[in-house]
Amino acid sequence: MNRKAISTVMLIAVSSALLVTACHGSEAVISLDLPVDPVMIEVFAGNESYLTTVLSHVPDGYSVANGTYPGWRVDMRYPIIGSPATHWVWLYSSMNPPSDLHGQKWDMVNYILNHKQGSVKEIQQAILYFINCQGGFTPWSSRAWAMVNDAEANGTGFTPTSGQAIAVICSKPLSNIPITIIEVYALNTLLTDLNGDRIVNIVDVTLVLKAFGSTPGIPNWNPVGDINHDGIVNVIDVTLITKDYGKTSL
């Protein structure tokens, strides 16, 4: 594709984005960039949370890092096999869960994580009321029920904002390792804000335009423009930046 054709593609994309922004306004969103390969977890009994989860073998540059995170149960089918045992799991954002967990009430869980009441055990009961892969769970604490009622009244469609907790799912499909979650406190960032100025605008589009069609080793290759990290700057990256055009982060 020659430079003129690339410019035409990008002009159409940006024009469409500007039209969408004019109709709907800009919005700030939280994005989590999680590793695509499995990471290692080691689970302990928690004090401030039901579980304490230690992540390791996490590559640099993601929204999570090697370290300790508050953890919670969402799966009572299998017992927790804690430290010193370790497990390889995949990490998924509850804002974009895997297909087998897509129908679960992650909005309610995220609401509870950001509106906690009572003890650790009562918070755990409220979480299991909404998501328990084993089936129905009935809390026995009045404060757990207070959280459930609060979430049902106010949590539908809840989306965490800057500085709030997001549930990240730790799962090893087709195994007897129970699914758990960790709390990740993410900044309000946009993966398509390529120059880090907290707005997706023509500057970011230009970075993609200059690298469009390139792969590693090509003179105009710029990994910054490869938004989805698939090794090529192409129409997928154009689509991603078009979708976010005009959005800002805090």
- pLDDT at position 24, please? 43
Sign of CA dihedral 163, 165, 167, 170: positive
Domain with CATH 1.10.1330.10 in the chain: 3-29+191-244
For residue 107, the SS3 value is helix
- H or E element, residue 171: strand 165-171
- pLDDT at position 21, please? 44
- pLDDT at position 243, please? 83
Closest CA to 89 of 36, 45, 141: 36
CA angle 126, 130, 136 (to 5 degrees): 100
Fold assignment, 3-29+191-244: Type 1 dockerin domain (1.10.1330)
Peptide linkage before 84 cis (omega within 30 of 0): yes
The CA-to-CA distance between both ends of the chain, in Å, stands at 37
Q: What is the pLDDT along the chain (250 residues), one digit of tens a residue?
A: 555 555 555 555 555 544 444 444 444 446 688 999 999 999 999 989 999 999 999 998 788 999 999 999 999 999 999 999 999 999 999 999 999 999 899 999 999 999 999 999 999 999 999 998 877 899 999 999 999 999 999 999 999 887 789 999 999 988 899 999 999 986 656 778 888 777 888 999 999 999 999 999 999 999 889 988 888 999 888 888 888 888 776 5
Residue with tokens 């970011």: 204
- pLDDT at position 26, please? 41
